[in-house]
Structure 1
């Protein structure tokens, strides 16, 4: 039986194909509910939802990488991390959908989402925890930083990444792992930088939602070095 539905722009659509059922397209395409008539609000909602889906996928890849590191499967962890790099590249590119959002366009719907803010994203916090950021009030989650540190300890590398990078030729697989982790940390920071640029473009230095100071609050975090030891060895091992 074919089920006919009407979407929010008045088009009828059929929810009978295996493609639609497999991807849950009827449910997915029914999750966008703009609260105003502003033309740009739908792009803001969809971009936000797309990023949350990518956060979910990235967390999946990083959790898989952590499990493989716990099992001493370095090559498998690198594969998961590199797959995650593709997700992160898509996350960074997602900001393009909002790149032309002007302050006037943003003001048309900004009040409609009230105190809602990306800072409230639980998946974002999951990813930061995976990169070693402590959240004492949250449940303990798999951490790339912790899993990698324990792997190096099991290999007898008491100074961690310093030992690895100081003797690159002896640890080619661990160097590949270190660079894959570094690339993940680098991409996470670049996503935050694009976020800041988007906020500067759409609202300048105005007060942010959820009690934040907006761009000023974001600017304080855009130079954060996740997995800091992998950044430090670039100074220490080639001084």
Structure 2
């Protein structure tokens, strides 16, 4: 069933208690429900499945484009979830609730791992397959993903120029600007360490959170102290490891992206104006939470 996704229609809202579920199971003899009132089902309404499955509009007649198209949409959904969880984890750290933040950081890592597992499906698209529909992409590029950009901003990779593609999109720009202007999870972590009595450079704590992040010696020294103690029971040590999980998984996703692009298009230029693989190589060395990486050479 296809509907216009721009039309907001009332959806069925059901609240089923334990008693309701048990009564229904007795009524069906423990078998699935098969009869529903109206022109939909509770699952379609809960997940907006009819809307979701109406949003696939490949541009070319080439069969393989659907795989490419849906892979991109799935990634966008996962980026959205990762942004949601990063913001929630950041709020927990602002409240000094490290266990709650760590729980969400574990989820973010799993989301990133799931993102990485999408790339092998795209490996089934051969260079000739992709050439068949690539022109239909026009100048569209994953580089223009605002959910990906919001995730990078939330984790701490700030670059004002990355706001530029979205300035003319009123439904997107204000929210993306908020992500850019808000302290990242790494900024909030530094302030948490200071509240716990660790000596963080005051100037670093008051840094412009919209500026590109520069590693700070005091931050590395504090994390080195925590890591040299090597105490798994220390919730700050746990926090460091969960943040590293997120950073490492993100790097793995980027590296796999580089490999899949080179596998499919070689060294052709990108659709969005980039140099393609060579541009991807230029960003591959970026690391979120850099002091957590550099301390490993010292500890």
Task: Give the TM-score taking structure 1 as reference length.
Answer: 0.90
Query: Cα deviation per residue 1:179-203 (whole Å; 9 max; x = unaligned)?
Result: 0000100001111111111101110
1:34 and 2:58 are equivalent in the alignment: yes
Match of 1:144 in 2: 185
Q: 1:93 aligns with which of 117, 123, 131?
A: 117
1:155 and 2:196 are equivalent in the alignment: yes
Q: 1:76 aligns with which of 89, 96, 100?
A: 100
Query: Cα deviation per residue 1:163-191 (whole Å; 9 max; x = unaligned)?
Result: 32233339721111000000100001111
CA-atom RMSD in angstroms: 1.8
Q: Structure 2 stretches of 5 or more lacking a match? A: 4-37, 164-176, 200-217
Counterpart contact for 1:157–1:164, Cα < 8 Å: no
Q: 2:280 aligns with which of 193, 218, 222?
A: 218
Q: 1:60 aligns with which of 64, 81, 84?
A: 84
Q: Alpha-carbon deviation of 1:6?
A: 6.2
Rg larger for: 2
Distance in 1 (CA, whole Å) between partners of 2:235 and 2:260 is 38
Task: Give the TM-score taking structure 2 as reference length.
Answer: 0.72
Superposition pairs for residues 1-239 of structure 1, below 5 Å? Answer: 5=1, 16-136=40-160, 138-139=177-178, 140-158=181-199, 159=218, 160-169=222-231, 172-237=234-299
Match of 2:211 in 1: none
Q: Structure 1 stretches of 5 or more lacking a match? A: 8-13
Q: How many correspondences in the alignment?
A: 227
Distance in 1 (CA, whole Å) between partners of 2:289 and 2:119 is 24
- Match of 1:169, SS state, is coil
Counterpart contact for 1:164–1:171, Cα < 8 Å: no
